[in-house]
Amino acid sequence: METVESLKPGVIKEIYALIEPHAEKSIAYFYGRLFAENPRLRTFFPSSMAAQRRRMSDALSQITASSDNPETFTRLLSRLGREHRKFGIAPAHYDAMGRATLATLRAYAGESWTAEMEAAWTTMFDTAAAIMIQAAEDDAAQAPPWWVGEVVEHDRRTPDIAVLTVRPNEPLPYRAGQYVSVQTARWPRVWRTYSIANAPAEDGLLRFHVRALPAGWVSGALVRHTRAGDALLLGRASGGMVLDAESGRDVLCVAGGTGLGPLKALAEEALRTREDRDVHLLFGARTPADLYDLRALRALAEARPRFHVVPVVSEGPAFGGVRGPVSDVLDRFQDWTGHDVYVAGPPGMVSRTVMNLQELGVPTERIHYDPADR
Ligand SMILES: NC(=O)C1=CN([C@@H]2O[C@H](COP(=O)(O)OP(=O)(O)OC[C@H]3O[C@@H](n4cnc5c(N)ncnc54)[C@H](O)[C@@H]3O)[C@@H](O)[C@H]2O)C=CC1
């Protein structure tokens, strides 16, 4: 069997550089080729392939970048292997995918394609497939490929935002701050990730804060077309924005809109694990009406005196509280340099908040957030 040590990262990166300028077209060609040769594989994918093509492109760039680091490469491919279980991918499908990737590379690299590249790519693909298959097999001994969740409550907080409470058919293990993939009956095979908005609890219930986006198939279905009693499919939990268990530092959470979800879970967990620390939550919204969870947060703050909630509104001139983009008001409070900081919200808000925190002297390693393309 090929091993991670036999990868040729230099050649893999050369191949990637040849293909990258044609990334979009070559990925469309890859799926076209895959489905033409294996029509049954088409049924594993949603009718619109746009998101899938984006995911494939991200995965390729990450795999290429990690090909010179066996540990990162193995960790990445193992995660992909586990995550692909929910798509119903079986070991036999990897051969078909391997053939389609090679055909794509030959077509797009043209005359630059060499025998050395063909060998390096084949080794890389076989190694990657072996790691994915093994990780999926190991995972199958511990967890189902997906969970069925029953919506037990659907609370429409604003015309665009709903808070869903979901009961999985069996315990779904996760850590506060993590997210899961969700599929609705309305859009078969379309999976989107949503952060779990509560810390793990004995009743096993999961809460999700969802805003219906104009082009959001799944978010629109979850907010507007889902009722108590409906079933959802849920994938395994992932994500690295979790509490630093070793740290006793105070915690600052900076939330933009429904980015509040994972931060509420983290705040609950932080308060539960150490009663002697302060947890500040800045909850940013565009208008006062968008502060969709303020009542629940205030109730929590009343029960937990060391929990401090500050609503921040960016487009409400009449709002009596703190006004401005939540990313830009951090210097109006106390010194945050001794805090663990967690940030979630729109990508622009997250990057601006991180930049401002760094300028205020918060060490980078204490600022936690999810990548925008999770
Ligand atoms: N784990 C995570 O990181 C999670 C992220 N999200 C993301 O959070 C976002 C929530 O969206 P909405 O509720 O529509 O938020 P929104 O667009 O209503 O904005 C919320 C807050 O962020 C500020 N803001 C928005 N864009 C900004 C920018 N470019 N620079 C500085 N501040 C900015 C607004 O002023 C407001 O205070 C979605 O993009 C969603 O994908 C949601 C859940 C979890």
Segment 184-195, tens digit of pLDDT: 999 999 999 999
Please indicate, yes or no, whether residues 199 and 300 belong to a single structural domain of this protein.
no
Ligand 1: centre distance to CA 324 (Å): 13
Whether residue 298 is found in the same domain as residue 329: yes
Which CATH number covers residue 50?
A: 1.10.490.10
Question: 314-328: per-residue pLDDT in tens?
Answer: 998 899 999 999 999
Q: Are residues 134 and 154 in the same domain?
A: no
For residue 262, is pLDDT > 80?
yes
Quote the CA–CA distance of 263 and 322 in Å, as a whole number.
19
pTM for the whole thing? 0.90
Q: CATH number for the domain including 198?
A: 2.40.30.10
For residue 298, tell me if it sits in a domain: yes
| Closest approach atom of ligand 1 to CA 344 | 3
Q: What is the CATH number of the domain that holds 317?
A: 3.40.50.80
Mark which of 207, 234, 261 sits at the end of a domain. Answer: 234
CA 126 to chain CA centroid, Å, is: 27
Is there a single domain that holds both residue 203 and residue 136? no
Is 239 among the domain residues? no
| Rg, Å, the chain Cα set | 23
Distance from first CA to last CA of the chain, Å, rounded? 31
Q: State the pLDDT at residue 312.
A: 98
| Ligand 1 binding pocket mutation candidate from 293, 349, 352 (most atoms within 8 A of CB) | 349
Characterize the bridge pairing of strands 147-156 and 231-234: antiparallel
Whether 244 is covered by a domain: the verdict is: no
Instruction: List, for residues 327-356, the tens digit of each pLDDT value.
Output: 999 999 999 999 999 999 999 999 999 999
The total number of structural domains in the chain stands at 3
**Could you tell me if 18 and 136 lie in one domain?**
yes
The reported pLDDT for the residue numbered 14 is 95
pLDDT of residue 298 exceeding 70, the answer is yes
Residues 177 and 301 in one domain: no
Tally the C-alpha atoms within 13 A of residue 232's C-alpha that lie toward its C-beta. Answer: 35
**Residue partners of 1: CB distance under 8 A and separation at least 6:** 126, 130
- Same-domain status, 46 and 87: yes
What is the residue with the minimal CA distance to atom 16 of ligand 1? 257
- Find out whether 119 and 15 touch, Cβ atoms under 8 Å: no
Q: What is the ipTM of this complex?
A: 0.95
114, two tokens: 């060499």
Considering the domain architecture, whether residues 153 and 62 belong to the same structural domain is answered as: no
The model's pLDDT over 67-109, given as tens digits with 9 standing for 90+, comes to 999 999 999 999 999 999 998 889 999 999 999 999 999 999 9
Q: Does residue 246 lie within any of the structural domains?
A: no
> Which range of residues forms the domain containing residue 338?
251-368
DSSP 272: H
Ligand 1 neighbour 197 (Cβ under 6 A): no
What is the distance in A from the centroid of ligand 1 to the CA of 257? Answer: 5
Q: Write down the pLDDT at residue 2.
A: 64
The H-or-E segment that residue 342 falls in is strand 340-344
**3 state SS of 277:** coil
Instruction: Point out the domain boundary residue: 76, 111, 140.
Output: 140
Q: How far apart are CA 81 and CA 155, in angstroms?
A: 35
Ligand 1: centre distance to CA 325 (Å): 10
